[in-house]
Structure 1
């Protein structure tokens, strides 16, 4: 493995360690022991849930190819997963608000475990069923857990600012450290121990089962809208009205769809971008490096969220601009550097630049998740939180399905350019959100003027 990869990984490791060890009192909040126990319980469960997800990711495509399916069939299976999330996501989100978020989290575990079990079958229909179950589970993962956390946090009377601690720690561990360890553990199962490409799915099912047991034994139930006479259609209408009537909610949904759509497109594009001539690149090590960059971003976010200034609405504009610039790099290197003509050689100079730029993008992803969670906790109404959050995922899933269907129809530079434009639009929408939030802040009373006017008024008896 080339020295360059070790240098990048080592540099990111040193920066993350320095950031974590150098935190001062300003970067931390004084919290209660009850909150710390609650936070640690949630982070443990969330880390187990993300381990169940991360273990599967690197081996889905590989497993399907081992079963003899071609690129077209595998593409259809992936589209089925995103399509399932789009079609059923809002329904399961509404059921989570109505029937209980704890039940929805348990349902996520069951659906994903069943999806893992289907991976043992080489039958196309069985695998398609697994993708549909996985799509439903994904919708619950990105809505029910956050909805349960926010509602339970408020129900227990903890300070609102403490939510950002849980968000940033959950992303730091669940989307960073757990992802790295899961990648290494999956590699151990498949390559070192020789258990085959289905073994990571069995391990994922075990982690999900452990997490489900913790949820069932230690979590209490909470609901969005407790009214018994409101059916699913009424919940959909209420969520749609909330989005249409509050521009802040609509802006959040658009920002989330634009960023996550670009992020999922990046997941499909980074490998061919770094190896246009089939260069030998260590995919697993690069993936671990990206996750380390994401940890760096979440560490930065924890510092930013712990302070009163700058506001999350303000610094996220900068994050979106940086992420937009980082995905412009493949276009710039394509024009400014001569393409390599060496097949299956080592990584090129432009490839090194792209690795650095992609790490910057992953750092932005690490900042995005806890910051977006913070904004959603502020602006989305509690009674329809899961429903609205899954409404946000509808345009996202449509976008990803379109990209997957046409991934070979457009040059890679066009795809990266489209993502860069989307991220710049997200920065503009974030500016608009900040302006609205600032304008709706209650203005401080001019107590001096009020006191003078009171003194000037005659006293009537």
Structure 2
């Protein structure tokens, strides 16, 4: 492995360690033991949930190819997963609000475990069922757990600002450290122990089962709107009215869809971007480097959110501009660096430049997650939190499905250019969100109440 990869990984490691060790009292928020116990319990569960998710990611495509499926059939399986998340996500989100977020989190565990079990079958129809179950589970992962946390945090009377601690730590651990360890553990199972590509899915099921046991034994139930007279259609209508009547919620949904759509597109594009001529690149090590960059971003976010200034709405504008610029690099290098016709070999000079830019993008991802969680906790009404959050994922999943279906129709530079434009538009929308949020300054810090329910749009 080339020294370049070690240098990048080592430099990022040093920065992350330095950020964590040099935190001052201004970068930390003193919290009581009751909150710390609550936070640590959630972080343990969230880390186990993310371990179950990260273990599967690197091996899904590989497993399908080992079963003899071609690129087209594998693409259909991936589209089924995102399509399932789009079609069923809002339904399961509404059920989480009405039937209970704890039940929804347990349902996530069961659904994802069943999805893992289907990976033992080489039958296309069984694998398709697994992808559908995986899509439903993904919707629950990115809505039910956060909804339970926010509701339980408020129910226990903890300070609103303390949410930022839990959010940043969850991303630092779940989307950073756990992702790296899961990648290494999966590599040991498949390569070192030669247990085959289905082994990571079995390990994921075990982690999910452990997390489910902790949820069942230590979590209490909370609801959005448990009123008996509201069916699913009424909940959908209420969520739609909330989004349409509050520009802050609509802007937040658009920003989230633009960023996440670009992020998921990047997941498919970074490999061909770094190895256009089938250069020999260490995919696992690069993935670990990206996750380390994400940890760096979440560490920065924890510092930013611990202070009163700059506020989330302000610094996220810069984050979106930087992320947009980082995805322009493949386009710039294609013009400035002459393309090589040599097949194979090590990573090219332009690939090295792009890798640095991609690390910057992943650092922005690390800042984005806790920051968007913080803004969602401020602006989305509690009554339909899971429903609205899954509404946000509808355009995201449509976008990803379209990209997957047409991934070979456009040059890679066009795809990166599209993502860069989306991210720049997100920065403009973020600026608009800041302007609206700062209007009623007398409403108190963090827009706490603006108050989340200015006209109570859900009271219909």
Instruction: Name the TM-score class by shorter chain.
Output: over 0.9
2:200 aligned partner:
200
2:108 aligned partner:
108
1:79 aligned partner:
79
C-alpha displacement at 1:28, in angstroms? 0.3
2:347 aligned partner:
347
Instruction: Supply the distance in 2 between the matched residues of 1:128 and 1:230 (Cα, whole angstroms).
Output: 33
Unaligned runs of 5+ in 1: 445-461
2:90 aligned partner:
90
Instruction: Supply the distance in 2 between the matched residues of 1:319 and 1:408 (Cα, whole angstroms).
Output: 30
Instruction: Supply the distance in 2 between the matched residues of 1:84 and 1:172 (Cα, whole angstroms).
Output: 28
1:236 aligned partner:
236
The alignment's TM-score, normalised by the length of structure 2, stands at 0.96
C-alpha displacement at 1:289, in angstroms? 0.1
1:52 aligned partner:
52
Instruction: Supply the distance in 2 between the matched residues of 1:361 and 1:200 (Cα, whole angstroms).
Output: 27
C-alpha displacement at 1:443, in angstroms? 7.2
Instruction: Supply the distance in 2 between the matched residues of 1:144 and 1:362 (Cα, whole angstroms).
Output: 24
C-alpha displacement at 1:440, in angstroms? 2.4
1:139 aligned partner:
139
Instruction: Supply the distance in 1 between the matched residues of 2:42 and 2:201 (Cα, whole angstroms).
Output: 23
Q: Does 1:391 align with 2:385?
A: no
2:323 aligned partner:
323
1:440 aligned partner:
440
Q: Deviations over 1:69-106 (max 9, x none)?
A: 00000000000000000000000000000000000000
Unaligned runs of 5+ in 2: 445-460
Q: Kindly tell me: are residues 443 and 402 of structure 1, through their superposed partners in 2, closer, same or farther at Cα, counting changes over 3 Å?
A: closer
RMSD: 0.6
1:358 aligned partner:
358
2:458 aligned partner:
none
2:177 aligned partner:
177
Instruction: Supply the distance in 2 between the matched residues of 1:277 and 1:189 (Cα, whole angstroms).
Output: 30
SS at match of 2:364: helix
C-alpha displacement at 1:217, in angstroms? 0.1
Alignment coverage as a number of residue pairs: 444
C-alpha displacement at 1:340, in angstroms? 1.4
C-alpha displacement at 1:342, in angstroms? 1.6
Instruction: Supply the distance in 1 between the matched residues of 2:348 and 2:398 (Cα, whole angstroms).
Output: 35
2:186 aligned partner:
186
Q: Does 1:280 align with 2:275?
A: no
Instruction: Supply the distance in 1 between the matched residues of 2:25 and 2:420 (Cα, whole angstroms).
Output: 37
Instruction: Supply the distance in 2 between the matched residues of 1:305 and 1:226 (Cα, whole angstroms).
Output: 32
Q: Does 1:69 align with 2:69?
A: yes
Q: Deviations over 1:323-349 (max 9, x none)?
A: 000000000000010111221011111
Instruction: Supply the distance in 2 between the matched residues of 1:219 and 1:400 (Cα, whole angstroms).
Output: 34
Instruction: Supply the distance in 1 between the matched residues of 2:295 and 2:96 (Cα, whole angstroms).
Output: 30
Q: Deviations over 1:237-278 (max 9, x none)?
A: 000000000000000000000000000000000000000000
2:226 aligned partner:
226
C-alpha displacement at 1:441, in angstroms? 2.1
Runs of 4+ in 1 over 2 A off after TM superposition: none
1:458 aligned partner:
none
Instruction: Supply the distance in 1 between the matched residues of 2:358 and 2:340 (Cα, whole angstroms).
Output: 20
2:369 aligned partner:
369
SS at match of 1:442: helix
Instruction: Supply the distance in 1 between the matched residues of 2:443 and 2:58 (Cα, whole angstroms).
Output: 51
Q: Does 1:413 align with 2:419?
A: no
Instruction: Supply the distance in 1 between the matched residues of 2:237 and 2:258 (Cα, whole angstroms).
Output: 24
The alignment's TM-score, normalised by the length of structure 1, stands at 0.96
1:7 aligned partner:
7
1:168 aligned partner:
168
Instruction: Supply the distance in 1 between the matched residues of 2:409 and 2:119 (Cα, whole angstroms).
Output: 30
Q: Deviations over 1:180-211 (max 9, x none)?
A: 00000000000000000000000000000000
Q: Deviations over 1:95-131 (max 9, x none)?
A: 0000000000000000000000000000000000000
Instruction: Supply the distance in 2 between the matched residues of 1:147 and 1:14 (Cα, whole angstroms).
Output: 34
C-alpha displacement at 1:420, in angstroms? 0.1
Instruction: Supply the distance in 2 between the matched residues of 1:2 and 1:67 (Cα, whole angstroms).
Output: 32
C-alpha displacement at 1:226, in angstroms? 1.9
